[in-house]
Each structure stands twice: as C-alpha cells, then as structure tokens.
Structure 1
Amino acid sequence: MNPVIFVADDEARLFCRGPGQAPERKSAPVLMLHSLFFDGSMFDAVRSLLPATLAVYAPDHRGQGQSEAGRYAPSIDRLASDTIGIIEALGEGPVHLVGSSMGGYVALRIAERRPDLLLSCVLSCCTAHAERQPERFAALEQRIREEGTAQLGPTLLQTMFGERFVAENSDACQAWQRHFEGLGPSAAEAVHGVFSRPGYEALLNDLRLPLLLFSGEMDRAKRPADMEYIAGRVPGSRHVTVADSGHTPPVENPALFARELQRFWDSLTPGAKTHAPG
C-alpha cells in the first residue's frame, strides 16, 4: 500500500490507500468507496487480487478511518464532493468507481452530479431508495452518541456480515469486531449521513454508465431485490448475487468480488484483458 493524502476544500486531510507501485501499463484509475463502520482497508483483499495493470485507490471517508473530519458533516453529498475532489486531483481523467453500501450512495450522487468523471460504476449492497426505517437509524445514532460502539461489536457483525462469515470467526472477522468496537461516538455522524440520504429513483431513468451490481444473499441490511430494482431500470446493467455473503461481499468473498470486477472491466474494452495470469 502506498498512502496518499488528499486535501479537501475545507483543508481536511483525507487518507487514501494508493497503488503499491506504478501500473505496468497505463489504464484508467479505480476508486473504491467503503461502507459505513468500515474504512478503505475493507478492500485490501480485493485489491491484492487485482492485476498490476490497474491503479486502485481506496480512500477513507472524512471523519472515518484515518481521514480528518474537517468542518463539514459527512453527508452523502459532502462525501461525493470529497470524492470528486480526489478524482480531479488524480488528474488522470474518468475513473472506474466502486461503492459498497454507504460508498454506493456516494457513487450514485457522483453519477448524478458529475457523470463525466466516471467510466463505469459498481454498486454493492445498497439501494436507490431513501431510508425506509429512519427511526431505527436515529435510535442507533443516538445510542452511539451517548455510549460509543464498545458494546456494539456483535450487533454490527450480525448486521454487516452473513451467517457463514460470522460463524467461521476468522481472524478477519475478529479484527473487524475490534474495529467496530473501537469506533467511538464520532461514528454517529456517519450513521446520520447514511440514513438522511435522498432517494435516487429519478437518476436511474437517465443513468447511462456501464453498471455492475452486487448483493449478498444473506444480507440482513439490504435485500437483493433492492439491487434488482436498479438493474431493472438501467439498461445493460448486470446483477450478481453472492450466495454465501451478507452485507459486505468485498470482505466475505473477495475472490469472487475481484473476479467479477475484472470480468466487468474486461467487457468494456473488448480484447483488453485485465486479469492476472492463472
């Protein structure tokens, strides 16, 4: 990992995991946007499986991970502005954008505001609808503000991952539980940003980007039907349901996630294969 620091328009320093080395050949950058309660490291396993021909970046949203909070609350629109700034700072033209859950909402907002900055879009385990249970999220936000997240590790594991991943209790699962429990009261700001988001139904009618969709068959937070709704309204989009995954396929099944990404990007440039040998 090669850390890169981007400076937002309010001087907040945004931490980003960059390519370990310069790509073997020039290709459009890939930007991966993480889920609520995570940081950009949730894509580490996926990034390690992608070929050296790709320059892959995984920033931490403001106020999350190693990024500063800055002066602005982390609304979806604010995170979209930060990400637009990162894309423009890279100076390499349009990017392939990948968004998981919260990152998916940010990706949709960028597609709405600046479609010229995107070559393609990948959405994982999100929805085009505004939050349908805002009272549940409001209660979670209040609890985190008052108590932090130290007692929420098991609950967040059950929400963010499927039964298989939790039952296996792997080193990765244990590490994410520790991560969740260490987030503290500041995580409430990001929770508010997610549940106060608008709906994007109207955008789908005009969205003409190549679009790949992921859902987890065991997802307790968002249903595969949410992604199917998007697929049915964006011509040419493709929907992959990950059978053994909950809400976070990039962590629960990184090999499948990386393979489907490669297949998708290869399909956009016939004859130009991005996949690694073997």
Structure 2
Amino acid sequence: MQRSTFLTNDGAQLSYASWPARQADAQPVVMLHSLFFGADMFDAVVPRLGGDYAVLAVDHRGQGASSAGAQPASMLRLAQDTIALIEARVGGPAHVVGSSMGGYVALQMAALRPDLLRTLTLSCCTAHAERQPERFDALEAALREQGPARLVDTLMATMFSEHFMQQGDAQARARWRAHFAALPRSVADAVHGVFSRPGYEPLLPGLDMPVLLCSGQGDRAKRPEDMQYIADRVAGSRHVTFERAGHTPPVEDPARFAAELLRFWRASARVPGEGAARPLAPNS
C-alpha cells in the first residue's frame, strides 16, 4: 500500500491509499469510507481480495489526512471530489464501494456519473434524508463543544455492534477507540454534511449497474430494513446481512465483507454502459 495526494479545484488536498494488483490489466476498485473513519478502515479487507483488483481508497475532504478545501463537505462535493480523482488516477469505470457516509457519496456519484461505476456496493446506509435531524444536530454541537475524546463511548456504540464490542477483535476495538479519541473537533463539519444530505429515493429505479447491498444485523445507526428498501427498488440487486456486524461490516467482519465483494464482482462481470445522470431531490 502507498499513500498519494490529489489536489481538488477548490484547494482540498486529498490523501488516498492505493494497493496495486498482480496484473496490470486488473479492474479498479474505489472504496469510500464511513464518517469518523478514513481510507484505513479497509485495511483488513483489501489483503483478502487476493491482489486481483487495483484498489484505491480516499480520505474524504476534512477527514483522515485530507485537508478541507474552500467548499463544505456536502455529499455532492465529496462525490465531485471522487469523480475528479477517478478521472485523474483511474481513468475509467471502477467497482465503487461505499460504507455509510461513503454510500451516500457513491449514490451521489451514480446520479452524476453512472458511467464511472462498473458496479455499486452500499453498506449500512439509507436512501432517505435524515429522519432524526435533531439527534445529529446535538451530536454535531457536542463534537464542536466537547471534542470527540469526550464522546468515544457514544461513537463506539454507534459504529459497532454489541457482538463486536464484547467478542470481536480486541486489537481492532483498541485501534478504533484510539482513532476516535484523536479525531479533531472539525469532524463536526463532516457530520453536518452527512446529516444534511438529500433523499436518494428518485435515483433508485434508474440504477442500471449491478448493485450489492450490505447491512449489519446489530446496526444501531441504520437498520437492515433501510437496505432492503433499496433492494426492493433496484432491479437485480442483492442484499446480504452480516449477523456479527453492526454499522461497520468492513471493520467488524472483514473476511466476510471481502468474500461478498469477490463473489459479487465475479458474478457481475459486465461492460458498463453510458448511463445518463439520474434525478435527485432538488436540494442535492
């Protein structure tokens, strides 16, 4: 794995990780991380892909090692960042994998540039606008006023299942607890971007790339029913539930997450079409 940077048109310096494939003509994969994480949330997933794909994972603006830039971190702006990165560093369509916040970015990408998505994998997100905005307004305010270190227990309970907290990988738990404690207060900007997102319901019937949907049985942030709602509206999509995971299957059950990706990609081999941009809510 190596780290590189990409400068956006408004001055954000995006840091991204890349893992080369064994073959020069391997298909590319772009992975988009959850809120409060970074590209390294996929560290335990990528090695399990066996080197068969060229993987790129970006730290979204204002998170990880990426700077914020002049524009706020809306889902639209993050999608535009990722599209520019794909055009510059990948050069063509990729298998796009989005976890939680990364899923919203991926949906926005599918609306703007469906031709760049060879396949789409969404994990633990929803097609709906935030249904409890007051709850997340309070979280944003607490992050700004108290700082993430005071809220580590809340973040751990939100991002991970009870099973992972009690019986999961102890080293992984310790790693992410320390990571959450070290987050800057400015992560509240990303929280605002996630929870002010539009609804993506109008987009769903027009998705014409293969779609895999992943949910965690123990998710305390989003429900498996949220992913099933998408599955019911996207023809040919597949929904799998991770019984031992909560909101973050790539961290909680990386072996199965990698296995599901490989199964999906191998079954979905296709030449992407030249899709048109899809409709979104007016405030997208």
Unaligned runs of 5+ in 2: 271-284
1:176 aligns with 2:176: yes
Counterpart for residue 234 of structure 1: 234
Deviation at 1:91, TM superposition (A): 4.2
- For the Cα contact (< 8 Å) 2:129–2:199, is it kept in 1? yes
Q: Match for 1:63: what amino acid? A: G
- For the Cα contact (< 8 Å) 1:28–1:92, is it kept in 2? no
- For the Cα contact (< 8 Å) 1:26–1:53, is it kept in 2? no
User: Identity percentage over the alignment?
Assistant: 58
CA deviations over 1:27-81 (Å, ceiling 9, x no partner): 2210000000000100000001112121001110000000011111111111001
| Dislocated runs of 4+, deviation >6 Å | none
Deviation at 1:23, TM superposition (A): 3.2
Where 1:241 maps in the other structure, the secondary structure is strand
- For the Cα contact (< 8 Å) 1:121–1:209, is it kept in 2? yes
Where 2:226 maps in the other structure, the secondary structure is helix
- For the Cα contact (< 8 Å) 2:21–2:55, is it kept in 1? no
CA deviations over 1:243-270 (Å, ceiling 9, x no partner): 0110000000000000000000000229
Q: Match for 1:189: what amino acid? A: D
Deviation at 1:10, TM superposition (A): 1.2
- For the Cα contact (< 8 Å) 2:28–2:90, is it kept in 1? no
- Between the aligned partners of 2:31 and 2:90, the Cα distance in structure 1 is 17
- Between the aligned partners of 1:22 and 1:203, the Cα distance in structure 2 is 32
- Between the aligned partners of 1:58 and 1:89, the Cα distance in structure 2 is 14
- Between the aligned partners of 1:60 and 1:251, the Cα distance in structure 2 is 16
- For the Cα contact (< 8 Å) 1:94–1:119, is it kept in 2? yes
- For the Cα contact (< 8 Å) 1:98–1:122, is it kept in 2? yes
Q: Match for 1:107: what amino acid? A: A
Counterpart for residue 274 of structure 2: none
Deviation at 1:198, TM superposition (A): 0.2
Question: Which aligned pairs between 1:43-192 and structure 2 lie closer than 5 A?
Answer: 43-168=42-167, 170-192=170-192
Q: Mean alpha-carbon deviation: is it higher for 192-201 or for 9-18? A: 9-18
Counterpart for residue 202 of structure 1: 202
Where 1:45 maps in the other structure, the secondary structure is coil
- Between the aligned partners of 1:91 and 1:158, the Cα distance in structure 2 is 36
Deviation at 1:168, TM superposition (A): 3.1
- For the Cα contact (< 8 Å) 2:21–2:54, is it kept in 1? yes
Counterpart for residue 251 of structure 1: 251
- Between the aligned partners of 2:219 and 2:171, the Cα distance in structure 1 is 21
Deviation at 1:196, TM superposition (A): 0.1
Q: Match for 1:3: what amino acid? A: R
- Between the aligned partners of 1:232 and 1:150, the Cα distance in structure 2 is 39
With the length of structure 2 as denominator, give the TM-score of the two structures: 0.92
- Between the aligned partners of 1:58 and 1:79, the Cα distance in structure 2 is 13
- For the Cα contact (< 8 Å) 2:205–2:235, is it kept in 1? no
- For the Cα contact (< 8 Å) 1:25–1:53, is it kept in 2? no
Note the aligned Cα RMSD (angstroms): 1.1
- Between the aligned partners of 2:15 and 2:90, the Cα distance in structure 1 is 17
- Between the aligned partners of 2:238 and 2:102, the Cα distance in structure 1 is 19
Deviation at 1:25, TM superposition (A): 4.1
CA deviations over 1:106-157 (Å, ceiling 9, x no partner): 0000001110111110000000000000000001101111111111111111
Deviation at 1:175, TM superposition (A): 1.1
Q: Mean alpha-carbon deviation: is it higher for 77-86 or for 175-184? A: 175-184
Q: Match for 1:166: what amino acid? A: M
